[in-house]
Amino acid sequence: MTEKSKIFNKKILVTGGAGFIGSGICETLVNQNNEVVCLDNFITGKKENIAQLLDYNNFKLIEGDIRNIVDCQLAVKNVEIVLHQAALGSIPRSIKDPVTTNAINIDGFLNILCAAKDSGVERIVYASSSSVYGDADGLPKVEDRIGNPVSPYGLTKTANELYAKVFSNTYGMKLIGLRYFNVYGKRQDPFSTYAAVIPKFISALLKHESPIINGDGSFSRDFTYLDDVIQINQLAAMSDNPEALNQVYNVAAGERNTINTLYELLIQNLSTFDNQIKNINPIYSAVRQGDIPHSQASIFKAQKFLNYQPQFNLREGIKKTVEWYVKHM
Ligand SMILES: NC(=O)c1ccc[n+]([C@@H]2O[C@H](COP(=O)([O-])OP(=O)(O)OC[C@H]3O[C@@H](n4cnc5c(N)ncnc54)[C@H](O)[C@@H]3O)[C@@H](O)[C@H]2O)c1
């Protein structure tokens, strides 16, 4: 990544900035001398994720809700770029509570678009998701071949992409959507009922408990390391290639690993800190509703238009992630 494609000296709003991905983005941007505004209602985000930033005078926290237009209007004041991460994540949670998922992910997104439009924000980069591929079959997933959403969460991200297209066509706004694939790294919450697989497994193993694998472990995912997600947010925000604008991009490592492979890597890395972990076996249980068997991204489009180059494969990313959790748990 060149210096030109990093964000320096800008005023940026990061919605959901106290969450897992948002706090990583805020940290990087504060260190690059930007003025960073974080808007978060702490529904899943945590104060401790941004505690280290609160003392910086180029970081401002607005405790507010994207469902409230006034909060959005306040947050976008004088902002040049919006990196929109706020959403209610998790497919199972959206199946349990589609109403809240819809209100945050669609109404909230629309509020951010409207507030940004009215205050003349130059560019919005927003988090979409691999879940927009829904029931489309065939691997790797290519941006222009999506299926029907198979969960309320997937539907909300599809709706975001449609709204983004309408806002760019109707109001001339500059928007870029990033379809994240299974992101992992430091500060991902291991304790929520809807925790993602990597922090959940790490926290169980550190307590010498057997992680539960849904299915037989043969399902596979394109696991994406947090730093690569931060990289592409900056590339998308700074790109001066007109062809790159008003598009959606897969964000992934571009490789596929099974849950069993992931488990072995975690055991290998954690055993170097605690030898007893190497004897822990997982418990295999039923497949979860809404889980697709395999997922892998084509990252060709992001490479071509945004110069995205993932820096971490699963082996490298897991090593760094485990080091962080061992220190912080
Ligand atoms: N983590 C992944 O693997 C993954 C994959 C695909 C897409 N995404 C998307 O990336 C984004 C960030 O995800 P994450 O993993 O960091 O999740 P997260 O839950 O850690 O972060 C989301 C943040 O948004 C905040 N938020 C939620 N509703 C809000 C509201 N109404 N007003 C203000 N703030 C609100 C939460 O408090 C939290 O801090 C989300 O849009 C998510 O859908 C994540």
Helix (H) or strand (E) holding 237: helix 226-238
The CA 20 to ligand 1 mean position distance, Å, reads 7
Nearest in space to 217 (alpha carbons), one of 257, 184, 170: 257
Nearest to 296 by CA among 236, 195, 224: 224
Ligand 1 atom closest to the CA of 128, numbered from 1: 7
Q: How far apart are CA 47 and CA 227, in angstroms?
A: 21
Q: Sign of the C-alpha dihedral, residues 138, 140, 145, 148?
A: positive
- Which fold, 9-187+223-255+297-312? Rossmann fold (3.40.50)
Question: How is residue 269 written in tokens?
Answer: 């890395």
Give the atom of ligand 1 at the shortest distance from the alpha carbon of 224.
3
Q: Residue 15 C-alpha to ligand 1 middle, in angstroms?
A: 9
Q: Split the chain (329 residues) into runs of 10 and give each run's mean pLDDT.
A: 94 98 98 98 98 98 98 98 98 95 98 98 98 94 96 97 98 98 98 95 98 97 98 98 98 97 98 97 91 93 98 98 97
Q: For residue 185, give the 3-state DSSP assignment.
A: coil
C-alpha–C-alpha distance, residues 121 and 75, integer Å: 11
Provide the sign of the torsion angle of the four alpha carbons 247, 251, 253, 255, taken in this order: negative
Ligand 1 pocket residue status of 24, Cβ below 6 Å: no
Report the amino acid identity of residue 65: D
Residue 218 φ/ψ, nearest 5 degrees: -90, -10
Q: Taking the domains of the chain in order of start, what are their residue ranges?
A: 9-187+223-255+297-312
Q: Rounded to an integer, what distance in angstroms lies between the CA atom of residue 290 and that of residue 150?
A: 7
Residue 85, ligand 1, Cβ within 6 A: yes
Residue nearest to atom 43 of ligand 1 (CA): 89
Task: Give the pLDDT of residue 59.
Answer: 98
DSSP one-letter code for 141: B
Question: Model pTM?
Answer: 0.98
The catalytic residue among 133, 153, 184, 225 is 153
Tally Cβ neighbours within 10 Å of residue 96. 13
100 strand-pairing partners: none
Q: Whose CA is nearest to atom 19 of ligand 1?
A: 44
Beta-bridged to residue 220, according to DSSP, are 258, 294
pLDDT of residue 324: 98
- Backbone φ and ψ of 44, nearest 5°: -125, -20
Burial class of residue 207, CB neighbours in 10 A (0-12, 13-18, 19+): exposed
Q: Is the CB of 199 under 6 A from ligand 1?
A: no
Q: Determine whether 171 is an active site residue.
A: no
CB 325 within 8 A of CB 206: yes
CB 272 within 8 Å of CB 319: no
Do 176 and 125 meet the contact criterion of CB atoms below 8 Å apart?
Answer: yes
What pLDDT score was predicted for residue 192? 94
| C-alpha span between 254 and 297 (Å, rounded) | 5
Q: What is the pLDDT of residue 17?
A: 98
- What's residue 40's pLDDT? 99
CA of 113 from ligand 1 middle (Å) equals 17
Contact by Cβ (8 Å): 190, 209:
no
Tell me, using a 6 A CB cutoff, whether residue 18 lines ligand 1. yes
pLDDT at 288 (0 to 100): 85
